[in-house]
Amino acid sequence: MNQFQEPLVSIGMPVFNGAVHLESAVNSLLKQSYKNIELIVSDNASTDDSAKIAAMFASEDSRVSLIKNNKNIGAMNNFNQVLQQSSGEFFMWAASDDLHSKDFIKECVCSLIANPKAVLCQTRVAVCLETKERVIFYANLNSFSDKTRVEARYKETLYNFPAVAIYGMYRAKFAKNIPGFRNFPGGDLLWVQELSLAGNFIQNENTLFQYIARKEWNSFESDLKNLGTQSYNFKNSIIRALNTLFDRVKSIRRSQTSNVSKARLIVIAVQYSISTILVRGFLKALGYLGSAEWVKVFKNKLYWKFLHISNTEIVNQALFQTRVINPTIGVM
């Protein structure tokens, strides 16, 4: 495949105060073996040198363009903006602190071309702490390999889709055909759940993407604050769960599936919402019992039984416990 035959790949990079790692993240994209790309950097009114660094790249490489927001429009809206501004046949998001191996784009494009019914391709992802050498776990889409029926694929997306896989490559026409990220925690996952109604999710078996986790991850409470939504308590969590269910039902109703499939999908969504409310409520209730060791042990058992995503290969169990399990079950 030479450059004149390569379909254009659009890369959207939403940035807010990402100057520390921005240069290395952009370089890992511009040095890809696949050359027919456009990189759209959207600076969300950063107070550091993010816009300056992006402008430097734009002045040196015609494939790079910069959007400067005069005010912070919110993380989710910034993600949506770069998608809508893109013009490629394929699209991917890239964070300002992640690293891509030089063949990431080429391998994803080839996989999507070879699988015309697929709407998303991701490679295996190394989820790392601070540096690419400190791997916490690998994320994959192994369980999706035989999920070609829409009901099975949608259910798998609800229960076993690793969030980092959102940084895979999409067929742009499908990605643009559904409403963007919702403006609340988990709004990106609702988007990808709706996308699963349109086509298959596939995986390239190579590990070509390093997701670099921050030293201090945001808590769920801080995510709520950053998005301007209500603080966490049981009543508000029930309201959010119901709103999320209504969103899923609307997504299903506007999909191009048959009426029979829509009915089955709604049942799957309702069952998932009920189980989530029950498990989260039980974890919240256990929190009132304090931090006794037996409480922590019981919460861990609940995590492995109901909340663990199967598409993970744990490398560092101690880090996985502190960075993934504990925040999920409310043990800090």
- The CATH number given to whatever domain includes residue 56 is 3.90.550.10
Asked whether residue 1 is assigned to any structural domain, the reply reads no
Residues in the chain where the model's pLDDT stays below 50: 3-4, 219-220, 224, 226-228, 230
Residues 195, 293, single domain; the answer is: no
Predicted confidence at residue 237, as pLDDT, reads 73
Decide: 213 and 127 in contact? Cβ < 8 Å: yes
Query: 213, 237, 261 — which closes off a domain?
Result: 213
On whether both 25 and 162 belong to a single domain, the answer is yes
- 92 occurs within a structural domain: yes
The C-alpha atoms of residue 25 and residue 210 are separated, in whole angstroms, by 10
**Helix, strand, coil distribution of the chain in percent, nearest 5:** 50, 20, 35
* 129 and 274 belong to one structural domain: no
Is residue 81, in this structure, part of any structural domain at all? Answer: yes
For residue 4, being part of any structural domain is answered with no
Token pair, residue 26, equals 């952009």
Q: Are residues 50 and 15 in the same domain?
A: yes
The parent domain of residue 302 ranges over 220-329
User: Do both 159 and 278 map to the same domain?
Assistant: no
Q: Could you tell me if 243 and 171 lie in one domain? A: no
Do 107 and 174 have their domain in common?
Answer: yes
Work out whether the CA dihedral 136, 273, 75, 328 comes out positive or negative. Answer: negative
Residue 32: which of 211, 206, 208, 166 has the closest Cα? 208
Same domain assignment for residues 204 and 76: yes
Q: Which of 194, 213, 232 is the last residue of a domain?
A: 213
Domain final residue pick, 193, 213, 233? 213
C-alpha–C-alpha distance, residues 311 and 79, integer Å: 25
Residues 157 and 284 in one domain: no
Please check whether residue 52 lies inside any domain of the structure. yes
